[in-house]
Structure 1
Amino acid sequence: MSEQKLAAELRTEFGKGYARRARAAGQIPAVIYGHGAEPLHVNLPGRATTLAVRVSNALLSLDINGEEHLAIVKDIQRDPIKQIIEHIDLLTVQKGEKVTVDVPVHVVGEAASGVVANQEATTVSLEAEATHLPTAIEVSIEGREAGAHVHASDLELPKGAALLSDPETLVVNLSEAAAPAEEEAGEEAAAKEAAPAAE
């Protein structure tokens, strides 16, 4: 995973009014904390930051007054209606450091004919090296039959990552599809034929 480089500006003003002005100027207020250091309050470039954090577990390289700070996103507050980013909490990380992250699970492939795949868990918790965080884990259900299950312990984890979720967590459950549409159509037709007789 490549670093996303962003220029950050230290801020000394706080409060909702200031945050509104910052967002109006195309910036996103953020706080950086971790490693026992005093939290750093910064403004990030709005468009570039929005694009960078679309990737799960993105590693951000922040230039603050010429100093590089590596950080990952811990929380994003969004406007409930417009869904624009209002504030970001960032966690300082160092190369070689292990951190805990939730990683999305993407189901790929087609199950056997007549089989429906239900994804029961959309993320799993992993411990991984801060500068090599996985953005997603793929699990293939290609050709799998009804009755098959995929548990967290079955996932292929990236090199150096360790599973923290319960290994027995059900990720994908494969079952037989519901009654075919033809049968449902036949039942509807039978119901319509019976309707006039009831009048």
Structure 2
Amino acid sequence: MKTYELQAVARNEKGKTVAKKLRRQGMVPCIVYGGKETIHFATGEKELQKLIFTPEIYKVEINLGKEKITAIIKDIQFHPVSDRILHIDFLEVLPGKPVVMEIPVKLEGFAVGVRDGGKLHLNSRKLKVQGMIDDLQDIFVINVENLALGKTIFVGDLSYDKITLIDPPQRAVASVKMTRVAKEEEKPAEEGAEGAAAEGDAKAEAKTDAKDAKADKK
């Protein structure tokens, strides 16, 4: 997994007033917990935007000057109107201790179901996993070449070395569904086949009635 180095400044003052002052200065109040102690610090909002507003995931190296802490993001608070980053909680990564993260999913290949007129759907953009930080992938690449029309890949169909998938096994990851156009094209064809069959039955029944009528005259 890639590492993002975050320049930060430790802070001793806490509270809403201090947090508002930091935000006016273009800084974001943060904490990192899970280690020996909870550390409060602040970092630049622009630096965090590069880390947050991206589809990629990182383990974060928090540089506090004399100390560096390896961590992952656990929670982000955004402003309800402006979407500005208000606060971030980081979890310190400890040696020998697994972490839980959400890994992005990318589909690869041209599904056979798409060639047959279906549409490919990415049902889960991320998968929640547990594992050692150095064993986690940056992204899950799932090959869908053999995914047929009407079929689905579920979490239970996937497995990775040294990684535990936490999402329910029945959760859909990718699927190929019939498009509306294909359904509309298929419906008249079915109706035509049914009509031809019905017409054939009617003709056969008419012939039978004619034979019965001749037999009655004799």
Q: Verify same fold: TM over 0.5.
A: yes
What percent of counterpart residues are identical? 25
Mapped contact 1:105–1:136 kept (Cα < 8 A): yes
| Alignment correspondent of 1:50 | 49
| Alignment correspondent of 1:78 | 78
Q: 1:91-117 CA distances to partner (integer Å, 9 max, x unpaired)? A: 000244311112222234443231112
| Alignment correspondent of 1:137 | 140
Structure 1, 37-46 or 161-170: larger mean CA deviation: 161-170
Structure 2 counterpart SS, 1:86 = strand
| Alignment correspondent of 1:128 | 131
Q: Choose which of 173, 176, 182 in structure 1 pairs with 2:175.
A: 173
Q: Which runs of 5+ in 2 are unaligned?
A: 186-218
Cα offset for 1:51? Answer: 0.7
Mapped contact 2:101–2:129 kept (Cα < 8 A): yes
| Alignment correspondent of 2:31 | 31
Cα offset for 1:17? Answer: 2.8
Structure 1 counterpart SS, 2:120 = strand
Q: If each structure's strand is expressed as a fraction of its own residues, which one has the higher value?
A: 1
| Alignment CA distance shift 1:78-1:117 (3 Å) | same
Cα offset for 1:34? Answer: 0.5
Q: Does 1:152 align with 2:152?
A: no
TM-score (norm 1): 0.78
Cα offset for 1:71? Answer: 0.7
One-letter amino acid of the structure 2 residue matched with residue 149 of structure 1: T
Q: Does 1:59 align with 2:59?
A: yes
Mapped contact 1:7–1:44 kept (Cα < 8 A): yes
| Alignment correspondent of 2:194 | none
| Alignment correspondent of 2:201 | none
Q: Which runs of 5+ in 1 are unaligned?
A: 184-199
Q: 1:134-186 CA distances to partner (integer Å, 9 max, x unpaired)? A: 332122323632122111133363x4322222333221221211125997xxx
* Structure with bigger gyration radius: 2
One-letter amino acid of the structure 1 residue matched with residue 29 of structure 2: P
Looking at structure 2, the residues matched to 92 and 152 of structure 1 have their Cα atoms a distance apart, in angstroms, of 28
Structure 1 counterpart SS, 2:181 = coil
| Alignment correspondent of 1:104 | 104
One-letter amino acid of the structure 2 residue matched with residue 43 of structure 1: A
Computed over aligned residues only, the root mean square deviation of the Cα atoms, in angstroms, reads 2.4
Q: 1:52-110 CA distances to partner (integer Å, 9 max, x unpaired)? A: 23354421111224111111000111112222211100000024431111222223444
Looking at structure 2, the residues matched to 139 and 23 of structure 1 have their Cα atoms a distance apart, in angstroms, of 41
Looking at structure 1, the residues matched to 96 and 173 of structure 2 have their Cα atoms a distance apart, in angstroms, of 29
Q: Does 1:119 align with 2:118?
A: no
One-letter amino acid of the structure 2 residue matched with residue 163 of structure 1: L
Looking at structure 1, the residues matched to 148 and 136 of structure 2 have their Cα atoms a distance apart, in angstroms, of 32
Mapped contact 1:95–1:130 kept (Cα < 8 A): no
Looking at structure 2, the residues matched to 34 and 120 of structure 1 have their Cα atoms a distance apart, in angstroms, of 33
One-letter amino acid of the structure 2 residue matched with residue 45 of structure 1: G
